[in-house]
Amino acid sequence: MDIIKLIFSIIFTLVFIYMGIYSLYLFIFSIAGKLIVQKAPPVASAYSKFVIYICSYKEDAIILDSAAQALTIDYPKDKFHVCVIADSMQPQTIVKLKEMPLQVVEVVFESSTKSKALHAAIANTFEDFDAAVVFDIDNIAAPDYLRHINDYLHAGKRVIQGHRVAKNTETPVAILDAISEEVNNHIFRKAQQVFNLSSAIIGSGMALEYRLFKDTMAQIDAVGGFDKEMGLVLTRQNIHVAYADAALIYDEKVSNPEVFKKQRRRWLSAQFNLLKTYGMTGFTELFTRGNFDYFNEIYQTAILPRILMLGLMPFMLIISLLTPGVGPSWQMWLTATALCYIGILVAVPAQFFNSKLLGAVLKIPMIFFAMLALLFKLKGANKKFIHTPHNPTSN
């Protein structure tokens, strides 16, 4: 009996170390991001030349509007070039795209991925550009997006992640998705800058010096999670990723629970696949080169989604109350749970605390159990591209 108790104590202690460190991480970065203001760089006196890559897989009803919106960005017209990578588009859509003042790169792959699309675009880019920007098919940039990115480039930043925000919050699932995005923006992007750490790159809305973008993409051939792999490749070379909080890029949030589950399954699979591939290199880089930025990126591939932490922390607190003397005390679990919840709540922007929030919160248990189930269904999710359908009415 004492052996069984010892085994459970060890297990509960290891779980507490993992979840306790994660809760403290969320708390520290969330609070720091609120208390310490990051100054934006000065307005640049010159204009960098950009190529904007729009990755478009099917979704013919969306790409025409997205491409047209990209052309209206408030920036000198001779200083940016729009390139649409048209993957598996209808012929009539291609015709309409070619009527616009932009470049169309037509591609069809047996198995489509964003990295393959970007490789094709790079191979068809012949002009000299200062920087490359990547948009998803549903992204709409704020009019001043490129101006903010330009300021960071002229301040010496080589990689800049823009501030991706929701353009639709019509359903509880979309609201939760939008909140999740903003929590990530605050903790894993904005607050990282406080400690001079790199912001986490998202799949769109980011800009890189063109030569650096080309060289980095040459090292990436991911089915899913190309953005996470990009962050690892960059930080391993001690290249800092800046965050432009004012450079807004509007992104469609998932409204359908089934689509949400498929998307998260792909993301989780990609995340843990990268952890398996690169995990041990984090310790090597940390102890041999002192590269804490890269180690921090590796750590972020090892953490659970916040929605799971919201459910698992109180669950473990209850377990500790029911099993006194086994593992960490309930007081320790209560402290860790409080740090986790405070960290997440502080990161939620004030505008989300409205009448729609209650309906979204009521969906959390359903999403929690769906996400928990996904942890046991990740096999094969990163072997094949899983398309996230979009709603054309949200543009």
Burial group, residue 145, by CB count within 10 angstroms (0-12, 13-18, 19+): buried
DSSP code per residue over 240-289? -EEEEEEEEEEEPPP-SHHHHHHHHHHHHHHHHHHHHHHHHHHHHHHHHH
Q: DSSP letters along 13-46, please?
A: HHHHHHHHHHHHHHHHHHHHHHHSPPPPPPPPSS
Above 70 in pLDDT, residue 87?
Answer: yes
- Domain contains 43: no
Q: Is 108 exposed, middle or buried (0-12, 13-18, 19+ CB in 10 A)?
A: exposed
Residue 160: give its domain's CATH number: 3.90.550.10
Task: Answer yes or no: is 394 within a domain.
Answer: no
Determine, yes or no, domain membership for 352. Answer: yes
Q: Do 100 and 244 sit in the same domain of this protein? A: yes
Task: Judge if 248 and 113 occupy the same domain.
Answer: yes
Nearest-angstrom CA–CA distance, 215 and 228: 16
Check whether residue 195 and residue 151 sit in a common domain. Answer: yes
Assigned domain for 363 exists: yes
Residue 203 has pLDDT above 90, yes or no: no
Does the pLDDT value for residue 210 go beyond 90? yes
Q: Are residues 367 and 281 in the same domain?
A: yes
Position 44 in a domain? no
In a domain, residue 158? The reply is yes
> Are 210 and 351 part of one and the same domain?
no
Instruction: Specify whether 242 is located in the same domain as 317.
Output: no
**In-domain check, residue 393:** no
Statement to judge: residues 299 and 184 lie in one domain: no
Total domains, the chain: 2
Predicted TM-score (pTM) of this structure: 0.90
Q: For 214-261, what is each residue's pLDDT tens digit?
A: 999 998 876 667 888 999 999 999 999 999 999 999 998 877 777 777
Alpha-carbon distance 315 to 309, whole Å?
A: 10
Q: pLDDT tens for residues 293-317?
A: 999 999 999 998 898 999 999 999 9
Q: What is the pLDDT of residues 9-49, one digit of tens each?
A: 999 999 999 999 999 999 999 999 999 988 999 999 999 99
Q: Which domain holds residue 68?
A: 50-264
Residues 15 and 58 in one domain: no
pLDDT-based confidence at residue 88 (cuts at 50, 70, 90):
confident
Rg over CA atoms, the chain? 22
Within 10 A of 388 (CB to CB), how many other CB atoms are there? 17
What is the rounded CA–CA span in Å between residue 136 and residue 77? 21
How high is the pLDDT of residue 63? 93
Q: CA nearest 218: which of 123, 103, 301, 145?
A: 123
Conformation bin of residue 132: beta by default, left when phi > 0, alpha when psi is -120 to 50: beta
Per residue in 346-389, pLDDT (tens digit) is: 999 999 998 888 888 888 898 888 888 887 776 655 555 555 55
78 shares a domain with 170: yes
Q: Which pLDDT score is estimated for 321?
A: 94
Q: Tell me if 207 sits within 8 A of 50, measured CB to CB.
A: yes
Q: Tell me, yes or no, whether 364 and 306 share the same domain.
A: yes
Residues 226 and 178 in one domain: yes
Q: Give which of 129, 157, 133, 158 is closest to 145, Cα–Cα.
A: 133
60, part of any domain:
yes
Residues 280 and 257 in one domain: no
